[in-house]
Structure formats: structure tokens, C-alpha cells
Amino acid sequence: MSDEPMVLRLRVNGDPVTLAVDPFLRLSELLRERLGLFGTKVGCEAGDCGACTVLLDGAQVCACLVPAFQLGDREVTTIEGLTRDPLGRRLQQAFLACGAVQCGICTPGMIMAAYDLLRRIPHPSREQIETALGGVLCRCTGYLRILDAVLAAASGRIPELPPSGGVGVRIAKRDGLGKVTGQDRFGADAAPEDALWLRVVRSPHARARFELGDLAAFCRRHPGIRAVFTAKDVPGRNRFGIYPDVKDQPVLAEGEVRYRGEAVLLLVGDRDAVEAVRLADLPLTFMPSDAITSPAQALAGELPPVHADRPDNVLVRGTFRTGDAAHLLASAPLRASLELETSFVEHAYIEPEAGWARRLGERIEIGVTTQTPYMDRDEVAAILGLAPEQVRILPTCCGGGFGGKLDLSVQPFLALAAWLSNAPVRMVYDRIESMASTTKRHPAHIRVEAAVDASGRMCALRFSGTFDTGAYASWGPTVAGRVPLHASGPYRLAHIDAEALAVYTNNTPAGAFRGFGVPQTALAVEQLVDELALRLGRDPLAFRLDHALRRGDPTPFGQRLTSCGLVPCLEALAPAWRELRARSEAMNAEARTRGDARRRGVGLAAMWYGCGNTAMSNPSEIRVGLRRDGRFVLFNGVQDIGQGSNTVLVQILASALGVPEDWIESTAADTALTRDAGKTSASRQTYVSGRATELAGRDLRAKILRLANAGPDARIVAEPGRLVVEDRGLRHELWLERLAADADGIVLEGLGRFDPPARAVEDGCGAPYGAYAFGAQLAEVEVDLGLGTVRVLQVHAAHDVGRAINPQQVEGQIHGGIVQGIGLALMEEYVPGRSENLHDYLIPTVGDVPTIVVHLIEDPQPDGPFGAKGVGEPALIPTAPAILNAIHHATGVRPRKVPVLPHRLRAALLAHGEPP
């Protein structure tokens, strides 16, 4: 086999195909780039994720690992081919109906793997399904619904979901069809014809100065390279960052790099030429120096600071103080303390960052996978020196975000390259680049101490957390602001002294990740609460109930809670808690006598979480309209990253208007057409944008009723070309063609804007969030004392979501959150430079998922849409601490570092003295 192009004949989905190809072209690329079959996704190009699963001569394979030279005369089946096949269609339906699809990036691969299985074994056991799907990763769903879907497809008993029903009904995911058929376009799936290829050259050093030589000469020597851009070429501000006052990250480094993977320059040109450039070919010299690798080192101050203008390396210090914690801690009859370290955690969405851009005169368009189109627009505008209106962000489908796509990644590079070279450009991060260059969950080092008074009540807490924010600020200030306010946990506590420090190092920047520091905080605090209960000889659930916040209570910062379902959450868990605790203790006693190394344990954790930005305005605006043909339109500026807003907002609108969902169309987010609905983060979209949608719907309904002169209880009925309003037996007809339509064909519009009321916390008092979500989970684990391994057997989760707009979507969020929590507790540890891929960085597979039982508690949020509040992040927060508490219950050991990898637990067990 050589490098010479070859002529290849094969069959794809039954059709003969003949192509001239590079023999080393991967089948995944061949399908996508040469045949336009973008349903085959690419998540790693290394056989680690299974997103590219197709059938080769009827057997599932990773398309990314099949070279063209092995494809001669072979038969390839892709997701696009399944639509013609009854079994394929059954699987697609079952995935939709069972809620097995969230972001959808893993869906084609999952369906292909399941299809392969059902053709071999038409009625598989659950275990056989697990084995067959073991090679495909999903980061969103927690896998259980996927297993259900395969079982349903096998049995032919596929549940039927209604297409409409309003708030509270499990209607089918509205945007699911394109995901199960592979038709949806994600970041890497579309680009203008003839787009040039863009590559970022990055630093292999965590800290270095660098010099650039003669780039013009370099370009002359490399004819396929159209241009090389450096910091000097940035027309606007070569800085970005989340906060207006902390724009500290250069788009392209200026003579100095601060983390491994930092962007240094851009290469634009033919794909092959751009990819072929070696670091050594470039006139680029690095002069590395000693990097700061931990906050402790940063605070010790022995090395020069990461940023010259921050001599102490402290990005921000967030505090919350109320009462007199110091005094009580010194004088209380019982105290306990705990220290805990957490690691960098990678979002590991299966879709790496990707997109395209093109310049249209004095405007620029960017298609990109993102969680935050409007922030992207404003940042890109500043970088190019343009007004925001000159930048149009067209979000593609987003294959998972979890906070990681809240920061800029490819956007500024695409924008710069397209603007400066006046040509369309395209770029796709590979997995390593995605992992090494984008943000992570902040590693934390936490010390926490609490006291119990003479009556046995927890009375004071001191919390201090140091968070490694990496080389740049990103969302570090958010974490430092949010953590101290959440340090008390969801408990009545009057004396608190909490501090969170975000410290610069030369590590990968840490940013936003599902929970903004609260999961790390809860890991420490919830273990401490358990510890206090145990020392008092109290049952941990009863102890939590004694302290739980209730509706009407003030928070530690004096905000009255208008919705708080924590007590019902704990009560919902109580029966399982008692039963499983007793069972595990009995089993352990027996195991001890038998000399068995396995121990069971059951642990509990509770949580609270303020929905939306901390003490900052975060409005959403939604426009809805009635079109002349009688259809309603939701101009949806909310980016659905798999969480389900495309469905949930339509349900809210349907209920607000009093019409069924199938009369409503929604447009995709587009900064030129839709209003700013803010970012998909902080569990705010259901609550904030949902409320704006409800208001917009009510506004439009009121206008319709006014026009028909009808009372508030009237019914709206659509008929072709007109709208009929029925009111107390009377029919009012609205002839829509008589009304003037705007450019979008809208004859009547409704507007809604909601900005949850928020007041900063000063002197211990404030109202930083509009709504609080509450929840509690229990986890049952099995620990192998001999090996230090932990298996999570079941998780029971009770969450107060205010109102479950679509219970299936809510459960999906909870399942996904729990499985990410398992990863955080037991396996996920990102080490810069060492685990930049999906085989060294482990996320849970289908075989690592426990049984999950969900209890939805609904304590309505007065200003939430139909009472709803958020659940995206809350779902993840209690899982890891519940697991740690369960490990303690099983073994008596509290590991000091997460993830609790087998060797760490084993060492802790040995130090504790129990294991065989």
C-alpha cells in the first residue's frame, strides 16, 4: 500500500459508489466529506467514542479506523441507510419515544450499534445490549433510556408519545427526528463551498516566551498556505473573557504563552497543506520556563506570576460572612472538619468544537456549535473591531456543552481568518485539541469545619476553598462568587464564614461546568454534615430533615424562600433509605463472617442551587407571533444543547396561548432574527426564558382575544386561513389575511421579557437569585475492599423542579447529571498533557450506570413559567457526595481526593486498617 490515489468501488447503503481517493482516507471522512453523509459523526478519530459506528459488511466498526484501501468491494451501511429498513425505523422511533436522545451527537452511532445487535440477536438480554453498546459513549443521557429504547425496539412495544398536551405532559422531543435519522447538522457538518481550512498552531509548553521569524518567507515556501495570522493581525481587541472587567485571554498569544495548548498563530489554506506543516517548519522559537502547576505553588510566590498585573496570582476572592462563626467554632461542644481535593474534570461532550465563517462585505457570519450565541456575537465583534450587528451567529446543532461551550473556542479564529482573508473558512478541533485547549471544571482544595451546639443542632460553618482557575479567568469569578453563597448547603444555618479563592496557574483554563463550583463544595460539605450526624449518633437523613430549609425560611443571606421542596425530597427518599441502609448492614455482617471482600454502603446528599446568574441581571427576551396562515411561531433565541428547550418552550407557549403544540413552529436561534434569550447555562433557560415565553404567549393571547372581543376564558381554534375564538357559546372569526403582516409574515405578535429579580449580597444580606432548586439523592455502592473498586448499584434522586414541564425531559436531565456525578466521584481526572484523549480520560460507559429511580417534587416557583425552575445542574450536584458518603458507610473511610480511583481508595483503606 502506498500513498498514491486509488480508485475505489464499494456499496454504500445499497448503492454502488466509485471514487478516487487517498488510500489512507478514513471511512468516516469518505462518508462525510466525499459522499455528504454527515449522519456518521466524529468524536475522537481514535476508536474511543463510537460516534462513527457504521456497519461494514454487516458488522459494526468504527468508521474512523477503516482506511479506504480496505474498502474495495465492501458494503457500508450508515444511519442514512436505516430509514429504508423496518428494523432501522423501529429503532429510530424507539429512541425518540423512550427519551433516548438528548443532544443527538451519539445517537447515530448508538442506533447503528443497536441495529448490529438486533440483527444478530433479535431478542437480546439487557446484558447483551450493554455489551453491544459498550463501545459508544454518550455524555448526556446516562444510557438508561437508550437501553430501554433498544429493548422496546426488540419487543416491538414502542411507547406512543402524544404530539401535544401542554405543560406537564410527556410530549415527544420536537427536534428529535433529525437526530435519529442523522439529518441534523452539527458544527462539523456544514460549511460554505470552497471554504479554506483553518488550523491553530498551539504551544507545546505550559509556559514560554516565543519569537516569530519571517512568516512571509514561510508562506512563499508553502504554496498551499494562503495566510498566517498572528496577534498583530487582530483588528480589534486581542483579548476576550466572560467579565467586562477581566478580559485577560488573548485570541493569539503575544510573545508569551501561559498554558499548554494556547493559541499562537493561525494557518489558513488548503486542508492538506495546512495539516502538513510541522512545528519545526515554522519560524517560531519557544523559550520555555518553569510553569506554575498548582495553586499552592502560585500562592507561594516563588516563580514569577502568571500575569504581571496580578503579582499574587489571585484572580478573585469571593466571601460570604454572616453571624459569628469563629466564636461558635471555638466554643461549641462538638466540631468536625474535613479536607478534600478535587481534580480537573473535562466536559467530554462527544462533539468537538467546530464551525465555519464567511465575510459578507462589512458583515460576518459564523456557524458554530455553541451554548451562547449572543455572547459569541459581542465578543467576536470586539475582537474584529465591529459593531455587534455586523456579526451574525448561526448556531448549529450542539453536540453537548455542559458549560464547556460557554467560552469562545473556534469562534474568534474563524472570524479573524474569514475577515482578514476575505474568504470562507472552516475548522474542526480534533479531540486532543478540544481537550487540551478548552476549559475544565475547577480543581478545588477545600477545608471545611462545622460545629454543633448543646441542643444538637448544626450552628456554624467555616469553608475555605482554593480553586485552580488555570491560565485565564474565564468563569473563575462566577465560581468564586457562587461557591461561598452555597457553602452552607440547603440548611438553616446562621453563622457562616465562607471564602473561595480563584488562583491563576499555568494549567488549562478552568471555566464553567455544570454547577459552577457547587458540586465540589457539596462534596465537602455534605460529607461533613454526615460526619456530624454520625458523631451525634443521629440518622443522616433525620439530621438533614432537622436542618432543611423550608418554604418561607430565610436563606443564610436573608432571602425568603418562596419555593422550597427539600423536605418532600428527603421524605421521598426515606423509605428506600431505611430499607437499603438496613439491608447493606445485614449483608456486610454476613460478608465479614464469610470472609468476603465486598461491602455495601448507602449514602445521602442534599443540594440547593440558585438558578441564573449570581446577583446579576440575566434577562431573556422572547418574541412569538401569529402568522397569516394561522400558525403560531416561536422565535426561539434559546440554544438547545440537548437539554430539551426546543420542546419545553413550545409546551409553555402552547399552554400560555391555549393551543396545541402542533400549531406552533419554532425558528432556530439566529442572532440576526431572534431576540437575546441569554446563554444556556446556570439552569436558567426553563426558568428565565420559559417565563419570557409564557409572558410572550399571554401577551399574544390577550391581543387575539381583544381583537375578537372575547373574555379571558375563550378557546382559540385554528381553521385554514382564519382563527376562531369561541367564547361562552359565541364564535368570533378572525380573518387573518385582512391583517397587515410584517417581514416575517406575522400579523400579531407577543413579546415577553423576564429578568429574575436579584440583589447582590452585602454585609451578609441579599437576594442573589430569583429561584432556588432543591434536591437530594441517595446512592448504594458496593466496595471491593481487596481492590479498592467501587460500583454504584442504584441512585434514588428526588428533585424539586417547581413544575415538570415535560417529565420525560426532566428525568433525562437527572439521569445525565447522575452519571456525570458518578464520573466526577469515581473516574474522571484530567491531567494536562497526559489525559488529552478519551482512552486516558475515562467517562462512564453504558456498563457503569446504576439503576436510577427519580422522584419529581413540584413546589411551584411563583415567578417561574407555570411554576417551573431549573434542573440541569442540580441533578449532578448531590450524586458525588452521596457516593462518597456511601463509601464511608461501607468502609468507614473518607477518601481525601476525588476521583476515588481504585488505588486511592485502597491506600485509604490500608491506612484505616480494615481491609484483608
Partner 1 sequence: MVAGATDLYPLDAVRRASWDVRVGRELPLLDVSRLPELREIRLSPSGLRLGAAVTFSEIAEAGLPDWCRALVQAAREVGGRQIQNRATIGGNLCNASPAADSAPPLLAFEAEVELASVAGRRRLALSRFLLGNRKTALLPGELLVAIDIPHPGPGTRSLFSKLGARRHLVISIVSLAVVLRLEASGRIDRVRLAVGACAPTAVRLKSLEEELSGLDVGTAEARIAPARLVELAPIDDVRASATYRLEATAELLRRALRELAAVARCAGGSDR
* Burial (0-12, 13-18, 19+ Cβ within 10 Å), 579: exposed
Put the strands of the sheet holding 15-21 in their side by side order. Answer: 15-21, 6-12, 75-77, 53-56, 59-62
Q: Which residue, 268 or 838, has its beta carbon nearer to ligand FES?
A: 838
Q: Which residue, 13 or 835, has its beta carbon nearer to partner 1?
A: 835
- Closest by alpha carbon to 89, among 127, 63, 118? 118
Residues 6+ apart with CB under 8 A from 136: 49, 50, 51, 53, 106, 109, 110, 113, 846
Q: Which residue, 287 or 326, has its beta carbon nearer to partner 1?
A: 287
Using DSSP, state whether 305 is helix, strand or coil. Answer: coil
The Cα 409–Cα 351 span in angstroms is 13
The Cα 357–Cα 394 span in angstroms is 10
The window from 16-24, 103-111, 337-345, 444-452 that contacts ligand FES (CB under 6 A) reads 103-111
**Burial readout 750-784 (b: 16 or more C-beta within 10 A, e: otherwise):** bbbbbbbebeebeeeebbbbbbbbbbbbbbbbbbb
The Cα 359–Cα 248 span in angstroms is 27
Give the binding-site size for ligand FES (rule: CB under 6 A): 25
The window from 10-18, 303-311, 372-380, 825-833 that contacts partner 1 (CB under 8 A) reads 825-833
Q: What's the full length of the chain, in residues?
A: 916
Across 223-307, the runs of DSSP E, i.e. the strands, are 225-229, 256-257, 263-269, 284-288
Per-residue cell: 434:
478540544
The Cα 799–Cα 807 span in angstroms is 12
Q: What mask, x for binding partner 1 by CB under 8 A, covers residues 428 to 447?
A: --xxxx--x-----------
Q: What mask, x for binding ligand FES by CB under 6 A, covers residues 339 to 358?
A: -----------x--------
| Options 131, 297, 319, 464; binder of partner 1; rule CB under 8 A | 131
The window from 38-46, 82-90, 229-237, 390-398 that contacts ligand FES (CB under 6 A) reads 38-46
Amino acid at 902: P
The Cα 260–Cα 338 span in angstroms is 33
Per-residue cell: 81:
441507510
Q: How far apart are the first and last CA of the chain?
A: 55
Q: Which residue, 51 or 798, has its beta carbon nearer to ligand FES?
A: 51
Per-residue cell: 69:
484501501
Q: Is 434 in the site for ligand FES (CB under 6 A)?
A: no
Q: Is 435 in the site for ligand FES (CB under 6 A)?
A: no
The window from 87-95, 132-140, 684-692, 857-865 that contacts ligand FES (CB under 6 A) reads 132-140
- Phi and psi for 623 in degrees, rounded to 5? -115, 135
The Cα 423–Cα 425 span in angstroms is 6
Q: What mask, x for binding ligand FES by CB under 6 A, covers residues 147 to 186?
A: ----------------------------------------
The least distance separating partner 1 from the CB of residue 433, rounded to whole angstroms, comes to 8
The window from 11-19, 46-54, 440-448, 872-880 that contacts ligand FES (CB under 6 A) reads 46-54
The window from 419-427, 619-627, 851-859, 901-909 that contacts partner 1 (CB under 8 A) reads 901-909
The least distance separating ligand FES from the CB of residue 111, rounded to whole angstroms, comes to 11
Q: Which residue, 232 or 839, has its beta carbon nearer to partner 1?
A: 839
Q: Is 840 in the site for partner 1 (CB under 8 A)?
A: yes
**100 touches 81 (CB < 8 A):** no
The least distance separating ligand FES from the CB of residue 28, rounded to whole angstroms, comes to 6
Beta bridge partners of 452: 334, 458
The Cα 85–Cα 96 span in angstroms is 17
Q: What mask, x for binding ligand FES by CB under 6 A, covers residues 50 to 89?
A: xxx---------x-x-------------------------
| Options 587, 787, 793, 853; binder of partner 1; rule CB under 8 A | 787
Q: Which residue, 295 or 642, has its beta carbon nearer to ligand FES?
A: 642
Q: Is 91 in the site for partner 1 (CB under 8 A)?
A: no
The least distance separating partner 1 from the CB of residue 673, rounded to whole angstroms, comes to 38
The Cα 799–Cα 812 span in angstroms is 13
Q: Is 788 in the site for partner 1 (CB under 8 A)?
A: yes
342 binds, among ligand FES, partner 1, none (CB under 5 to 8 A by kind): none
Q: Is 735 in the site for partner 1 (CB under 8 A)?
A: no
42 binds, among partner 1, ligand FES, none (CB under 5 to 8 A by kind): ligand FES
| Options 8, 12, 44, 117; binder of ligand FES; rule CB under 6 A | 44
Residue 617 burial (CB count, 10 A): 11
The least distance separating ligand FES from the CB of residue 33, rounded to whole angstroms, comes to 14
Q: Between residue 743 and residue 762, which ones bind ligand FES under the rule CB under 6 A?
A: none
Residues 6+ apart with CB under 8 A from 49: 43, 106, 109, 136, 137, 350, 431, 838
The least distance separating partner 1 from the CB of residue 136, rounded to whole angstroms, comes to 7
Q: Is 804 in the site for partner 1 (CB under 8 A)?
A: no
Helix axes 518-535, 879-891, angle to 10 degrees: 30
Q: Which residue, 48 or 116, has its beta carbon nearer to ligand FES?
A: 48
Beta bridge partners of 731: 726
Give 442's DSSP letter. P
The Cα 30–Cα 34 span in angstroms is 5
Q: What mask, x for binding partner 1 by CB under 8 A, covers residues 51 to 80?
A: --x--x--xxxx-xxxx-xx----------
Q: Is 150 in the site for partner 1 (CB under 8 A)?
A: no
Q: Is 9 in the site for partner 1 (CB under 8 A)?
A: no
Q: Between residue 193 and residue 222, which ones bind partner 1 under the rule CB under 8 A?
A: 201-204
Q: Between residue 388 and residue 407, which ones bind ligand FES under the rule CB under 6 A?
A: 400
The Cα 535–Cα 515 span in angstroms is 30
Amino acid at 339: E
What is the maximal distance between C-alpha atoms in the chain? 85
The least distance separating partner 1 from the CB of residue 831, rounded to whole angstroms, comes to 6
Q: Is 276 in the site for partner 1 (CB under 8 A)?
A: yes
DSSP annotation string for 655-685 = HHHTS-GGGEEEEPP-TTTS-----S-TT-I
Q: Between residue 233 and residue 272, which ones bind partner 1 under the rule CB under 8 A?
A: 261
The least distance separating partner 1 from the CB of residue 173, rounded to whole angstroms, comes to 26
2 binds, among ligand FES, partner 1, none (CB under 5 to 8 A by kind): partner 1
Sole residue written with cell 476525588: 898
Q: Which residue, 179 or 691, has its beta carbon nearer to ligand FES?
A: 179
Nearest-Å Rg of the Cα atoms of the chain is: 28
Q: Is 895 in the site for partner 1 (CB under 8 A)?
A: no
138 binds, among ligand FES, partner 1, none (CB under 5 to 8 A by kind): ligand FES
Q: Is 334 in the site for partner 1 (CB under 8 A)?
A: no
Q: What mask, x for binding ligand FES by CB under 6 A, covers residues 679 to 718?
A: ----------------------------------------
The least distance separating ligand FES from the CB of residue 64, rounded to whole angstroms, comes to 3
The Cα 398–Cα 485 span in angstroms is 31
The least distance separating ligand FES from the CB of residue 589, rounded to whole angstroms, comes to 41
- Closest by alpha carbon to 291, among 256, 315, 340? 256
The Cα 549–Cα 181 span in angstroms is 46
The Cα 375–Cα 407 span in angstroms is 9
Interface residues with ligand FES (CB under 6 A)? 42-45, 47-52, 62, 64, 101-106, 138-141, 350, 400, 642
